[in-house]
Structure 1
């Protein structure tokens, strides 16, 4: 059984938001696609939305009953802007909220962890998706993808730590289920791919699939932090570098069966995603 009513997708031009909006519209749901430029998406109503501009929030929420929440990128304290919006969303009639967080961020932890902690008290129906690191970090718009294209190198402080990298398409498939299925809510779901891989393994697959040499170069925590700080706020750079250090210590060396349980099919492998997105 699926739900009626408008679904608001925040970050509708992003890696998971765009895929989620597309799947929702393809399934016949009414979708409001929210982004800073109100970019049109096929089958969806486009609306301008900026986390830091409350004047854009009312039009985005009007008539929405469900919302997919992508936190503001690069903000080390997203709760400061997200919680006032969520209280407004509840008052406006939103019944279910699905938050995109991270497998590296527990309830009550840094970043989106504070929003995760607050969600059950704000909505009777809620879900938190905590995916591992995206496979698209190596194929799309990301610092790793940039360095692969420009220099054939992946720079991390993760050492030989392994990660259950997950396909953004699989995240979107779970997000649609969490947003629309009456039985799939009030849950904290850790999402991974089918296997945990080292960055050296990722480099080897990329070399094979693209025919261009790709290597993993290991940095110290300080080297990575300083490199990222040239592209983003220092606090956020330190948080990301700290996550790499945690990977080196084994924090992400796991897989879950959540994608299969919620979609009825196994998650995609990194090799399959690399072939799909990088092979001409």
Structure 2
């Protein structure tokens, strides 16, 4: 089997995909803008000269779109065309449960991947449990004792990135291509107030949820350096959660991997300090 190119290989899901492939004895080619080992390959969405070398002798690609770009199609389309020219058969794209096919931004990539590649899958995970750790705005709120969103009482079935990566590996290497979109969730839908209470119980320190309007949240993001158009997009997604768009649970993780998706309480006990 030829190599599998893993874009975003130092990121939350890409690093896990590369590790899982390695555990199965499959050569993963981790791509990053700043390689720090011989095993990694340089890749930069904005530098097309890096695309062809990264795709050489590759059979499949785990595709993470350029971060913070509201319209990724102009960057991704020539990359996919180069992939087809080099004989790449399969692309598994990371997207979001909040973005349907054909919607602006990531949604436009769904159609592009489907139309361009002989074999494909689109992963549409819910919000990551890992947003409650590291440097995400939610994690910063956890450390400060207040999570700020525009979600109101809306619920989200938060998903562990490890479960996303497990599904991604199946989509990359299963003999029969999936050729579909997968909505991936955890096993339970929770409001941010519910999640804050679980985190507070785990840490022993107060953590509350404060809901604001979408406009207020957008201003909050821009005040922390997020470009205005991307801040508005993020705030609008929160508003969709408020309206119930993410209040759903699927069995996709268990159906594809053979094991249940991880629950938020288990994640908090293990990962949140």
Segments of 5+ residues of structure 1 without an aligned counterpart are none
Superposition deviation, residue 80 in structure 1: 1.4
Q: Secondary structure at the match of 2:40?
A: strand
CA offsets per residue over residues 227-257 of structure 1, 9 Å max, x none? 1123222111111100100100001000100
Contact 1:139–1:274 (8 Å) recurs in 2: no
Cα distance in 2 between the residues matched to 1:69 and 1:98? 6
Superposition deviation, residue 73 in structure 1: 0.8
Contact 1:131–1:190 (8 Å) recurs in 2: yes
Shifted more, 241-250 versus 135-144: the winner is 135-144
Superposition deviation, residue 45 in structure 1: 2.2
Q: Secondary structure at the match of 1:262?
A: helix
Matches within 5 A, 1:68-79: 68-79=62-73
Alignment RMSD (CA, Å) = 1.1
Q: Tell me, yes or no, if structure 1 residue 203 matches structure 2 residue 200.
A: no
Shifted more, 44-53 versus 216-225: the winner is 44-53
Cα distance in 2 between the residues matched to 1:98 and 1:39? 25
CA offsets per residue over residues 140-194 of structure 1, 9 Å max, x none? 3311112222x11110000000011110000000000000011242011000000
Cα distance in 1 between the residues matched to 2:51 and 2:172? 20
Cα distance in 2 between the residues matched to 1:60 and 1:171? 23
TM-score (norm 1): 0.95
- Specify which of 116, 121, 132 is matched with residue 138 of structure 1: 132
Superposition deviation, residue 39 in structure 1: 3.7
Partner of 1:30: 27
Matches within 5 A, 1:1-280: 4-40=1-37, 45-149=39-143, 151-230=144-223, 231-279=225-273
Runs of 4+ in 1 over 2 A off after TM superposition: none
Superposition deviation, residue 120 in structure 1: 1.8
Q: Secondary structure at the match of 1:188?
A: strand
Cα distance in 1 between the residues matched to 2:154 and 2:61? 34
Cα distance in 2 between the residues matched to 1:104 and 1:112? 10
Q: Secondary structure at the match of 1:99?
A: strand
Cα distance in 2 between the residues matched to 1:39 and 1:215? 39
The size of the alignment, in residue pairs, is 272
Check 1:35–1:152 CA distance in 2 against 1; reply closer, same or farther (3 A cut): same
Segments of 5+ residues of structure 2 without an aligned counterpart are none
Contact 2:119–2:177 (8 Å) recurs in 1: no
